Amino acid sequence: MNNIVNIVFATDKNYIQHLCAALVSLLENNKDLSIDIYIISSGMSKKTYRNIKDITDKYNCKVKHIIVLDEFFASLAITHPYYPKGTYYRLLIPELIDVGKILYLDSDIIVNGSIKELYKQDLNNYYVCAVEDAGFDRHNKLKMNIQSKYFNSGMMLINLALWKTSGLQKKVIDFIENNPQAVLFPDQCGLNSIINGQWKKVPLKYNQPSSIFNPSFEEQFDCFSKAELNEAKKNPVIIHYTSGSKPWHSTNTHPYKYLYWKYLKMTRYKHAIYSDLMPMYLLKSLIPAKLKQQIKTIIKKVMSN
């Protein structure tokens, strides 16, 4: 394996705090690796750059910030207004980064162990190595073969060479724009539709979803063996806080919630409090749901004109 491990995050200003926790967890648990980190965003404040540099200066890594214009994905953001534009940044990776393969990680993750074995995976002619997303049954809507599995795009070991030569980015964006009614998770659905099963499955412990802690998970889904499921629960390498309830919410009950706060306290955000206890959030909570929906509808109409 190449001595350099390439990692890419895509984020926006609302997830900087969580990105910092993810960064510390990655670097703390992989001190034996030489890591090049790429951070894709629409730009950050000088203070934010300093906060990130304060973390990465302590470890054996290099950081490159890549700035993209929000306008590039304006039409997609209008089509799916509930997802931040940062959701689409990972689709730009082949244009922005010139390496053979790279590990993409969402910002709402915590790395709880070594990623060395994951990164060593042989991609061959697979577009990505990823973890299956249980319960998928929308093959027809996404124009996928019925035998194809559906992966979660929050962790992907990406075959960048194949993405580039196949023109994957344009095909995915075209699908999202032309099939808005079929898309629930914009980039994830688009990637799965175009890749259509040509990806390599890796163990669940490399992208542990919050749903595996639901009491009925094992009864509902049979795509993971009992041993694989138990390993993911007890010894996760990458914890992905996939539900709407996140560790930075006071009511969150995730069993690994404490790890988010453990690593956050190793950053300049160590004095952060639960986001739903902040004054602005409490103020928003007083607005009736019906009025919130009306406001969103108006904003959507204004943006589309």
We report the CATH number of the domain holding residue 265 as 3.90.550.10
95 within a domain of the structure (yes/no): yes
Give the pLDDT band (50/70/90) at residue 261. Answer: very high
Domain span including residue 94: 4-272
Name the residue among 35, 44, 34 with its Cα closest to residue 10: 44
299 within a domain of the structure (yes/no): no
What percentage of the chain has pLDDT greater than the value 90? Answer: 69
Residue 245: exposed, middle, or buried by beta-carbon count in 10 A (0-12, 13-18, 19+)?
Answer: middle
When the pLDDT of each residue in the chain is averaged and rounded to a whole number, the result is: 88
Measured between alpha carbons, how far apart are the two ends of the chain, in Å?
50
Give the pLDDT band (50/70/90) at residue 29. Answer: very high
**Number of separate domains in the chain:** 1
In this prediction, residue 26 carries a pLDDT of 98
In this prediction, residue 294 carries a pLDDT of 65
Name the residue among 28, 37, 2 with its Cα closest to residue 122: 2
In this prediction, residue 274 carries a pLDDT of 83
Evaluate if residue 273 carries a pLDDT over 70.
yes
Evaluate if residue 185 carries a pLDDT over 60.
yes
What is the tens place of the pLDDT at every residue in 78-110?
Answer: 555 555 566 678 888 998 999 999 999 999 999
What percentage of the chain has pLDDT greater than the value 70? Answer: 84
In this prediction, residue 76 carries a pLDDT of 60
Q: What's this model's pTM, rounded to 2 decimal places?
A: 0.88
What is the tens place of the pLDDT at every residue in 221-234?
Answer: 989 999 999 999 99
231 within a domain of the structure (yes/no): yes
161 within a domain of the structure (yes/no): yes
24 within a domain of the structure (yes/no): yes
In this prediction, residue 282 carries a pLDDT of 43
DSSP state string for 74-115: HHHHHHSTTS-GGGGGGGGHHHH--SSEEEEE-SSEEE-S--
128 within a domain of the structure (yes/no): yes
Instruction: Give the integer Cα–Cα distance in Å for 51 and 44.
Output: 11
291 within a domain of the structure (yes/no): no
294 within a domain of the structure (yes/no): no
What is the tens place of the pLDDT at every residue in 126-157?
Answer: 999 999 999 999 999 999 999 999 999 999 99
If you average pLDDT over residues 56-82, what whole number do you get?
A: 77
